[in-house]
């Protein structure tokens, strides 16, 4: 949006009874107990002030309703709730609208997909965006689709990229002003990554930000030969937005091929980076690369947590970021300057970080033909599942993996649409699979405040609430609530299916509800009435 | 520019359909060089799910010669090219020639086409009975439950693996056969074979073949040993008995399926 007048004109152009305005997304994303955007707000906190469910009563939580999805694919979606209607994607690329009180279905958008889809790790979808009276979903055949929120009718459907060359969309789009910002997947297929913004009304593309520069652009010197053309750097997890600076902060994924960097000598900018873009133009204002020349598949695909707080005695705009590489970072949100870095899980690859946050690598940590043991493992010390920040406890919560992998190096040649990864690592050692945990960090120091240990490694994000609770889930199928101050378990329930999604909370008929996907279902929980 | 790839795509789809309908096409790419090229493609594209040596992982074992979604060359070509609907198996975007090489590689792995045992299976069955293997192992519904069911073991293990399992059972102990030792807060001791474990509880088959599910909060002590309860038969089998027994185990596989 170029000017306030243009923004006003757009808002006026929305039909009466529009469900979600940009102002609501910006100022009060959880008004009326709704959950309007992927992380619950632009700041990426995945926190709700709702406080009916407390440490004292959470032990009584019970199932409210369950929505079973007609799918064999993994469900990783964050549901959105708007004025009593839940919008959630069903993998691969369908969307369903449910009565948030009962789980009864209003409508379903069922996408017809071509027979050959190549996604690295399952045909998943992490959720939808809402703006005005529309719902937006990205598809595994790399389209972005606008749906009528009342009927599910398709309003527009644009091709974001050619799926036959390895592109797909699994990310939940982000509605910013009058635009839909959408990332792309395909880091295991030698794509050239980008972040796009589309006119929410027409589907016309406003801008494209290539995450991998072409020759002549800044950063292009960090790619040898033509490797930039197939350099990866996807954008497959929803970023955050700073409305004051009009700044989109987003994470980029691994360079391609993943585990053999010989064809792409250099730092491989701007893979594995936090990038901050002017929302109007898509131009980069700053970046911070967590892992230069990554050969371990340590994407920076975490939700950036944007916090304004005191830093060393003066107010500062900050980004909190626990990265897949095992380090927790604090960055300056105005400049991208590195302020702090500290391991939050076992890591054996870096001696530490230098004054600029660049890792000081240890010897013999690169993948090798015979295999190299390194902590953290291929799936990282954390991954795409969301962290949470609570303004009440001022703690940073996240799901953590303590494990290692055997990183192997192999040959790889590029061919469009096929895997381009450079080897096959042993992701999990069968006899030494490691363990998981929910951890609370002091975000100012990176120090661990508490830990809730799990036998298996979790693939589910966390939600903090005004009731001083942290909700999460495990691969064992348990949904649980922890005391936000000390990590003590106050409630758990076996849902009977792996939980590989992020929780949300909303209110229905005045009562607080917690929802999370488990197995192929959405489970909702409430207190007895 | 935009139309050309679409037209090509449509033509290639048409060509594949035509091809699939023709009478049982045989793999035209079966030379040792093709097998080697197929192995390379397999390792980078199929290995993440089917395992580096195709012995299975998230995807099924492909070395047994059993293909549940179609066992003809043409079916393998189609399944690799297009993926298998309703499963996590994706398609490959390679030319049919390249996929044929993968088919050749997979065929080369099938134990049916590989080494044959040197022993006598009938005599091996006698050894199986004499050594009381059925106290712990089940075949066709007869025998104990503490060790793995061997009814189809020949279709899922190589000869070398069978031999190793008899001589050095600790070389490869599946998690399902790890040994649980638990002491309750009341002091009662229990042990058995691990079936499942999560953050809060543990499930196992105890030594009297009873299913047990115990909350960790009720236990004073828990120990899991990653060793096999099976004794080594290194000293108690002659070379001939060993080969006969391996031949018997190797013969335990599904009956030829009706076509």
Is the model's pLDDT at B11 over the cut of 50? Answer: no
Q: Is the peptide bond before A270 cis (omega within 30 degrees of 0)?
A: yes
* CB-based contact A249:A306 (threshold 8 Å): yes
Domain holding A107: CATH number? 2.140.10.10
Determine the average pLDDT of the residues in B20-38.
Answer: 80
B36 and B12 co-located in one domain: yes
CA atoms within 13 A on the CB side of A70: 7
> Per CB distance under 8 Å, which residues of A are interface residues toward B?
72-73, 115-119, 122, 162, 164, 410-412, 415-419, 421-424, 430-431, 453-456, 474, 476, 478, 492
- Secondary structure letter of residue A419 according to DSSP: -
Q: How far, in Å, CA of A211 to CA of A239, rounded?
A: 14
Q: What stretch of H or E contains A490?
A: strand A489-494
Q: Do B85 and A115 touch (CB under 8 A)?
A: yes
CA-nearest of A13, A53, A173 to A528 is A53
Residue A511: exposed, middle, or buried by beta-carbon count in 10 A (0-12, 13-18, 19+)?
A: middle
Tell me the residue range of the domain where B23 lies: 3-113
As for how many domains chain A has, the answer is 1
Indicate yes or no: CB of B226 within 8 angstroms of CB of A423: no
Residue A478 CA to residue B198 CA, distance in Å, equals 10
| Cβ-proximal residues to B66 (8 Å cutoff; 6+ apart), any chain | B155, B254
| pLDDT bucket at A10, cuts 50 / 70 / 90 | low
Q: What is the pTM of this model?
A: 0.85
* pLDDT given at position B12: 39
At B3 the pLDDT is 43
Rg (C-alpha) for chain A, rounded Å, is 21
- Please calculate the CA angle A182-A185-A187 and round it to the nearest 5 degrees: 140
Higher pLDDT, B7 or B211: B211
Helix and strand totals (H; E) in chain B: 8, 7
A427 part of a folded domain: no
Identify the CA nearest to A163 among candidates A107, A222, A113, A210.
A113
> Looking at residue A59, what DSSP letter applies?
G
Contact flag B199-A453 (C-beta cutoff 8 Å): yes
Do B199 and A476 make contact, defined as CB atoms within 8 angstroms?
Answer: yes
Domain end call among B113, B139, B154: B113
Q: CA B63 from chain center: how many Å? A: 7
* Same domain membership, residue B244 and residue B213: no
Q: B58 has which bridge partners? A: none
Q: How far is A451 from chain B, CA to nearest CA, in Å?
A: 14
CB B202 within 8 A of CB B182: yes
* Confidence class for position B253, pLDDT limits 50, 70, 90: confident
- pLDDT tens digit string along B95-119? 888 899 999 999 888 754 456 889 9
Residue A526 to residue A63: CA distance in whole angstroms:
6
Q: What is the mean pLDDT of residues A154-169?
A: 97
User: Which residues of A fall within a CB distance of 8 Å from B14?
Assistant: none
- pLDDT given at position B109: 84
Q: Which of A117, A419, A476 sits opposite B44 (nearest CB)?
A: A419
**Separation between Cα atoms, residue A277 and residue A269, nearest integer Å:** 15
State yes or no: pLDDT of A14 exceeds 70. no
Structure tokens at A424: 């096959």
CATH number at residue B196: 2.30.30.100
In a shared domain, residues B96 and B194: no
CA atoms of A330 and A317, how far apart (whole Å): 10
Among A112-121, A257-266, A278-287, A366-375, the minimum mean pLDDT is found in A112-121
For chain B positions 81-100, those within 8 Å of chain A (CB to CB) are 81-83, 85-88, 90-94
Tell whether the model's pLDDT for residue A448 goes beyond 80.
yes
Is residue B159 included in any domain, yes or no? yes
The residue among B4, B41, B81, B90 with the most chain A CBs within 10 A of its CB, best to mutate, is B90
Contact A396, A443 (CB under 8 A): yes
Q: What is the number of domains present in chain B?
A: 3
Same domain, B59 and B100: yes
Could you identify the residue written with the tokens 């600029």?
Answer: A356
Note if the bond before B32 is cis, omega within 30 degrees. Answer: no
Listed residues B69, B90, B113: the one ending a domain:
B113
- Residue B115, pLDDT score: 66
- If asked whether residues B240 and B220 sit together in one domain, one would say no
Provide Rg for chain B, Cα atoms: 23
Q: Are residues B138 and B216 in the same domain?
A: no
Q: Beta partners for B209?
A: none
Preceding omega of A376 cis (within 30 degrees of 0): yes
Alpha carbon of residue A461 to chain centroid: 9
Of A116, A415, A424, the CB nearest to B48: A424
User: What does the pLDDT average to over A502-507?
Assistant: 98
Give the ipTM of the model, two decimals please: 0.84
Within-domain flag for A186: yes
Whole-angstrom Cα distance, residue A322 to residue A302? 7
In a shared domain, residues B200 and B158: no
Nearest to A440 by CA among A322, A269, A280, A275: A322
Cβ within 8 Å, pair B94-A415: yes
- Is residue A343 in some structural domain? yes
Are B101 and B220 within one domain?
no
CB atoms within 10 A of CB B57: 17
Please choose, from the candidates A525, A522, A526, A524, the residue with its C-alpha nearest in 3D space to the C-alpha of residue A67.
A522
SS3 label, residue A31: helix
Q: Closest by alpha carbon to B110, among B50, B150, B66? A: B66
- Beta A359-361 vs A350-353: how paired, if at all? antiparallel
**Which 8-state DSSP code applies to residue B245?**
H
Which positions of A are catalytic? 297
CA distance B57 to B49: 6
Angle at A493 between CA A491 and CA A498, to 5 degrees: 130
Q: Is the distance from CB of B165 to CB of B158 less than 8 angstroms?
A: no
pLDDT band at A9 (very low <50, low <70, confident <90, very high): low
Give me the mean pLDDT over the A158-173 stretch.
97
CB A91 within 8 A of CB A125: yes
**Mean of pLDDT over chain A:** 95
Q: Label residue A8 by pLDDT band (50, 70, 90).
A: low
B8 touches chain A (CB under 8 A): no
Residue A429 within any structural domain of the chain: no
Task: Order the strands of the B201-206 sheet from edge to edge.
Answer: B211-215, B201-206, B189-197, B179-184, B219-225
- Work out the pLDDT band at A84, boundaries 50, 70, 90: very high
CA neighbours within 13 Å on the CB side: how many for A324?
28
CATH number of the domain enclosing B52: 1.10.760.10
N residues, chain B: 259
Angle at B130 between CA B128 and CA B132, to 5 degrees: 70
| Residue A430 within any structural domain of the chain | no
**C-alpha distance across the termini of chain B, in Å:** 47
State residue A305's pLDDT score: 98
Q: Report how far residue A338's alpha carbon sits from residue A290's, in angstroms, rounded to the nearest whole number.
A: 10
State the average pLDDT over residues B173-194.
93
Residue A3 has pLDDT above 80, yes or no: no
Rounded CA-CA distance A403/A432 in Å is: 8
Q: Tell me the nearest-neighbour CA distance from A72 into chain B, angstroms.
A: 7
* Chain A CB within 8 Å of residue B210 CB: no
Inside any domain, residue A465: yes
Min Cα separation B185/chain A (Å): 21
Tokens in use for A218?
A: 């800044």
CB contacts of B52 in chain A (<8 Å) are: 424
B200 and B219 Cβ atoms separated by less than 8 Å:
no
* pLDDT, position B8: 39
| pLDDT of the residue at B4 | 42
Helix axes B96-109, B32-45, angle to 10 degrees: 100
Closest CA to A394 of A339, A440, A437: A440
- DSSP letters for B129-188: HHTTGGGT-EETTEE-SSS---TTGGGTS-HHHHHHHHH-GGGS--GGGPEEEEEETT--
> Nearest-CA neighbor of A289 among A206, A384, A366, A219?
A219
Question: What is the percent of chain A with per-residue pLDDT over 70, rounded to a whole number?
Answer: 97
- pLDDT at A272 > cutoff 60: yes
Q: Report whether A180 contacts A147 (CB < 8 A).
A: no
Whether the pLDDT of residue A17 is over 50: the answer is no
How far are the Cα atoms of A42, A44, A63, A79, A504 from residue A87, in angstroms, in the given order? 18, 19, 19, 6, 12
Q: What is the mean pLDDT of residues A334-340?
A: 98
The reply to whether residue A418 touches residue B198, judged by beta carbons under 8 angstroms, is no
> In the structure encoding, which two tokens stand for residue A451, read together?
């830990």
| Bridge partners (DSSP) listed for residue A199 | A179
Neighbour count for residue A229 (Cβ, 10 Å): 14
- Summarised one tens digit per residue, pLDDT across range A19-71 is 899 999 999 887 879 999 999 999 999 999 999 999 999 999 999 999 999 99
Same domain for B144 and B37, yes or no, is no
- Of B139, B145, B150, B222, nearest in space to B182 by CA: B222
Chain CA centroid to CA A172, Å: 8
Same domain, B143 and B238: yes
| H/E run at residue A525 | strand A521-526
Quick one: tokens of B204?
């196992």
Question: Is residue A462 domain-resident?
Answer: yes
Query: Distance (Å, rounded) from C-alpha A393 to C-alpha A444?
Result: 13
User: For chain A, what's the residue count?
Assistant: 529
Query: For chain A, first and last CA: distance in Å?
Result: 46
Statement to judge: residues B32 and B151 lie in one domain: no
* pLDDT confidence of residue A352: 98
- Is pLDDT above 80 for A508? yes
Residue B241 lies inside a defined structural domain of this protein? yes
Q: Is A428 within a domain?
A: no
CA neighbor of A453 nearest in space, from A419, A482, A477: A482
Q: Select the residue from B44, B86, B87, B196 to test the A interface by mutation, using most A Cβ atoms within 10 A.
A: B44
Average pLDDT over residues A517-521: 97
Stretch A121-143: mean pLDDT: 97
- Cis peptide leading into residue A473 (ω within 30°): no
Q: Which residue has the tokens 């999990």?
A: A428
Digit-coded pLDDT (tens) for B151-183: 988 877 778 888 989 999 998 888 889 999 999
State how far the Cα of A363 lies from the Cα of A378, in Å rounded to an integer. Answer: 18
Chain B nearest C-alpha distance from A205 (Å): 18
Residues B65 and B182 in one domain: no
Q: Position of tokens 């198996």?
A: B89
Task: Tell which of B72, B87, B113 closes a domain.
Answer: B113
Q: Residue B83 — very low, low, confident or very high, per pLDDT cuts 50/70/90?
A: confident
What is the extent of the structural domain holding A297? 4-67+75-422+435-526
Please, are residues A228 and A220 in contact by the beta-carbon 8 Å criterion? yes
Mean pLDDT (whole number) for B71-97: 84
């Amino acid at each position: 949006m170029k000017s306030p007048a243009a923004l006003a004109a757009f808002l006026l152009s929305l039909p009466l009874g529009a469900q979600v305005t940009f102002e609501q997304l910006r100022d009060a994303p959880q008004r009326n107990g709704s959950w309007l955007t992927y992380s619950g707000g632009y700041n990426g906190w995945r926190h709700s002030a709702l406080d009916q469910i407390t440490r004292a009563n959470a032990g009584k939580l019970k199932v409210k309703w369950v929505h079973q999805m007609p799918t064999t694919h993994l469900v990783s979606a964050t549901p959105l709730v708007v004025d009593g209607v839940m919008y959630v994607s069903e993998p691969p690329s369908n969307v369903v609208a449910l009565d948030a009180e009962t789980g009864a279905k209003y409508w379903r958008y069922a996408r017809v997909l071509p027979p050959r889809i190549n996604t690295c790790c399952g045909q998943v979808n992490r959720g939808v965006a809402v703006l005005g009276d529309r719902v937006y979903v990205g598809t595994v055949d790399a389209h972005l689709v606008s749906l009528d929120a009342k009927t599910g009718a398709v309003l527009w459907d644009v091709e974001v990229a050619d799926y036959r060359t390895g592109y797909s969309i699994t990310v939940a789009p982000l509605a910013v002003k009058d635009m839909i910002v959408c990332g792309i997947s395909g880091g295991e297929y030698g794509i050239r990554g980008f972040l796009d913004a589309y006119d929410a009304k027409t589907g016309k593309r406003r801008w494209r930000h290539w995450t991998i520069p072409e020759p002549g652009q800044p950063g292009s010197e960090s790619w040898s030969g033509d490797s930039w053309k197939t350099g990866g750097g996807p954008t497959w997890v929803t970023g955050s937005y700073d409305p004051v600076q009009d700044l989109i902060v987003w994470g980029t994924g691994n360079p391609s091929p993943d585990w053999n960097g010989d064809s792409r000598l250099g730092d491989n900018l701007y893979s594995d980076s936090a990038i901050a873009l002017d929302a109007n133009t898509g131009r980069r204002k700053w970046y911070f690369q967590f892992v230069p020349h990554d050969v371990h598949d340590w994407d920076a695909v975490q939700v950036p947590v944007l916090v304004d707080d005191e830093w060393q005695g003066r107010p500062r705009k900050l980004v909190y970021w626990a990265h897949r590489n095992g380090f927790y970072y604090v960055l300056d949100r105005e400049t991208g300057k590195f302020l702090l870095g500290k391991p939050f899980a076992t890591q054996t690859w870096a001696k530490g970080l230098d004054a600029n946050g660049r890792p000081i690598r240890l010897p013999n940590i690169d993948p090798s033909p015979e295999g190299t043991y390194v902590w953290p493992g291929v799936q990282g010390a954390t991954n795409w599942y969301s962290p949470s920040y609570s303004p009440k406890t001022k703690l940073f919560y996240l799901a953590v993996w303590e494990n290692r992998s055997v990183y192997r190096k192999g040959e790889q040649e590029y061919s469009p649409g096929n895997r381009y990864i450079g080897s096959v690592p042993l992701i999990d050692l069968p006899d030494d699979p490691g363990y998981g945990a929910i951890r609370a960090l002091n975000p100012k120091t990176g120090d661990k405040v508490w830990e809730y240990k799990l036998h298996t490694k979790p693939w589910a994000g966390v939600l903090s609430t005004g009731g001083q609770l942290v909700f999460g889930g495990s691969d064992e199928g348990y949904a649980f609530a922890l005391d936000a101050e000390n990590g003590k378990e106050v409630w758990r329930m076996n849902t009977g299916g792996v939980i590989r999604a992020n929780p949300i909370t909303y209110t229905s008929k005045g009562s607080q509800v917690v929802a999370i996907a488990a197995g192929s279902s959405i489970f909702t929980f409430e207190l007895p009435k | 520019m935009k139309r050309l790839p679409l037209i090509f795509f449509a033509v290639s789809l048409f060509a594949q359909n035509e091809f699939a309908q023709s009478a049982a096409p045989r793999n035209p790419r079966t030379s040792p060089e093709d097998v080697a090229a197929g192995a390379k493609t397999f390792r980078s594209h199929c290995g993440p799910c089917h395992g580096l040596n195709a012995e299975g992982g998230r995807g099924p074992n492909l070395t047994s010669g059993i293909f549940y979604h179609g066992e003809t060359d043409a079916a393998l070509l189609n399944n690799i090219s297009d993926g298998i609907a309703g499963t996590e198996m994706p398609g490959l975007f390679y030319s049919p020639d390249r996929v044929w090489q993968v088919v050749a590689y997979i065929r080369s792995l099938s134990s049916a086409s590989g080494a044959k045992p040197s022993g006598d299976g009938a005599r091996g069955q006698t050894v199986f009975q004499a050594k009381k293997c059925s106290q712990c192992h089940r075949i066709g519904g007869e025998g104990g439950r503490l060790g793995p069911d061997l009814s189809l073991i020949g279709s899922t293990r190589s000869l070398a693996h069978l031999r190793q399992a008899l001589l050095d059972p600790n070389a490869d102990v599946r998690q399902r056969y790890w040994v649980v030792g638990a002491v309750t807060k009341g002091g009662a001791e229990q042990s058995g074979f691990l079936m499942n474990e999560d953050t809060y509880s543990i499930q196992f088959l105890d030594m009297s073949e009873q299913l047990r599910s115990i909350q960790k909060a009720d236990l004073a002590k828990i120990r899991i040993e990653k060793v096999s309860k099976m004794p080594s038969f290194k000293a108690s089998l002659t070379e001939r008995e060993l080969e006969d027994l391996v031949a018997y185990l190797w013969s335990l596989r599904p009956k030829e399926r009706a076509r």
